[in-house]
Amino acid sequence: MNVLVVNAGSSSLKYQFFDTTTGNVVAKGNCERIGLDGKITHKQLLSGKTYTAELAMPNHAVATRIVVDALTNPEYGCVKSMDEIEAVGHRVVHGGPYFFESVLVTPEVIEKLELCRDLAPLHTGPHLMGIAGCTEVMPNVPQVLVFDTAFHQTMPAEAYYYPIPYEMYEKYKIRRYGAHGTSHRYVAGEMIKLLGKPAEETKIITCHLGNGSSISAVKGGKVIDTSMGLTPLDGVIMGTRCGAIDPAIVTFIMEKEGFTPAQMSDFMNKKCGFLGVSGISSDCRDIENAIGEGNERAALALNILNYQIKKFIGSYTAAMGGLDAIVFTAGIGENTSLVRAGALEGLGFMGIEIDKELNNSVRGKLTKLSTDNSKVQVWLIPTNEELVIASDTEAIVKALNK
Ligand code: ADP
């Protein structure tokens, strides 16, 4: 099936065009500066032909039209006409308490997604615009929503409930939702295949470490806990996000610095993490370079991450009553050997042993990092969220046609 996978942001629309029979991406691209002026960067992957243009994109519908034109272009496109686009799959950041799995877009689904605006104000509006854009340009093509929160919906109440008055949960739906669920689901699924035993018997910790980072405990193929919370600010230190801090720090800094709630939110989301601790950069590559030059605050930033990952591994192993495998994925997980080695250092007592030389040399490709003596397997598994979105979309749309 030909599936267009769309990731709509406030001023951008990223896309990948999948042929699900081969699992290959045949074209991909990005529309940027929607609502400002507009630029498309497109690549046909079979021929390697590219197309870049500055075109007016006043809204997501116009951007969608431009994407469809690129996909159907005889020179750098990949299909003859719009009729060959069989389905659209959207990445959706937050499904609130309403969505446990991927769904077909219907008017009822849009109504429920509207209710998620408060939970992900920066993302939900743009998603809705992306869906509306596709509906306008391709009214007869079925659309599917795949939620970053859905895989985490299996958490038990003691893992997702915060110790605040129950009315806050009832009134505002404040609870742990988690994030990066599509990535955790993909790598956990791949890890289950690699373990070669029934999914129900597996205990896996998945570490999605990128600009935003989250760690999940996946027992029997289902998430039982995850490090991100109501929002993607919770959990471990990130590029510019603080992760979990003593909640009293929030009011303390607000009072001392005279910050409004919006300023405090901006501070915690954009000024903390690697950037705030190191004073250098939010990017792990810059942090690594600075460590190489002997910068102590850069080393501290990375040590905080390693220590926090180690603590999550310990606590999630306890929560699951054992551990079969640890997976590292996303930008840092796939590329930064210092983090993988640092996080696992001293965990020999848990039966975790990695091949240090192999760990140092490998980047971005499927690799078993643990030694044959290691009781717990450790793997680098490159994530592929778009493939999950394309597969879910295909499955839902095929079921419709039956
Ligand atoms: P996002 O959360 O934006 O999707 P990524 O998963 O792309 O983030 O991860 C970005 C992080 O991965 C950055 O801190 C970056 O420094 C780090 N990283 C380290 N090495 C590489 C590399 N070779 N390529 C891409 N990112 C890398």
Residue 239, ligand 1, Cβ within 6 A: yes
7, β-bridge pairs: 14
C-alpha distances in angstroms, 15 versus 39, 40, 44?
Answer: 14, 11, 12
Residue 113, ligand 1, Cβ within 6 A: no
Indicate whether 110 pLDDT > 90. Answer: yes
Indicate whether 239 pLDDT > 90. Answer: yes
Residue 286, ligand 1, Cβ within 6 A: no
What is the pLDDT averaged over residues 293-303?
A: 98
- C-alpha 209 – ligand 1 centre gap (Å): 8
C-alpha distances in angstroms, 255 versus 167, 267, 268, 277, 376?
Answer: 27, 14, 15, 21, 47
Residue 335, ligand 1, Cβ within 6 A: yes
**pLDDT single digits (tens) 112-150:** 999 998 888 888 999 999 999 999 999 999 999 999 999
Q: What is the pTM of this model?
A: 0.94
What is the pLDDT averaged over residues 242-251?
A: 98
- 148, 225, 324, 392: the active-site residue: 148
- C-alpha 196 – ligand 1 centre gap (Å): 30
Residue 401's pLDDT band, with cuts at 50, 70 and 90, is confident
User: Which of 334, 338, 362 has most ligand 1 atoms within 8 Å of its beta carbon, as the pocket-test mutant?
Assistant: 334
Does residue 317 sit in helix, strand or coil? helix
Closest CA to 93 of 210, 232, 267, 235: 232
Positive or negative: CA dihedral 180, 120, 316, 153: negative
The pLDDT value recorded for residue 344 is: 98
The pLDDT value recorded for residue 171 is: 94
41, β-bridge pairs: 30, 52
Residue with tokens 């109440």: 157
What is the pLDDT averaged over residues 248-272?
A: 97
Share of residues in the chain with pLDDT > 70 (%): 100
355 is catalytic: no
- C-alpha 55 – ligand 1 centre gap (Å): 29
Residue 7, ligand 1, Cβ within 6 A: no
Element (H, E) at 261: helix 261-270
Are residues 148 and 92 in contact, defined by beta-carbon separation less than 8 angstroms?
Answer: yes
**pLDDT single digits (tens) 58-87:** 999 999 999 999 999 999 999 999 999 999
Return the half-sphere exposure (C-beta side, CA atoms, 13 A cut-off) of residue 103: 18
- C-alpha 309 – ligand 1 centre gap (Å): 17
The pLDDT value recorded for residue 283 is: 96
Residue 240, ligand 1, Cβ within 6 A: no
The pLDDT value recorded for residue 114 is: 96
- C-alpha 210 – ligand 1 centre gap (Å): 5
Q: What is the DSSP string of 136-154?
A: HH-TTS-EEEEETTGGGGG
**pLDDT single digits (tens) 36-45:** 999 999 999 9
Sheet of 325-329: strand order equals 222-226, 213-219, 203-209, 325-329, 377-380, 367-368
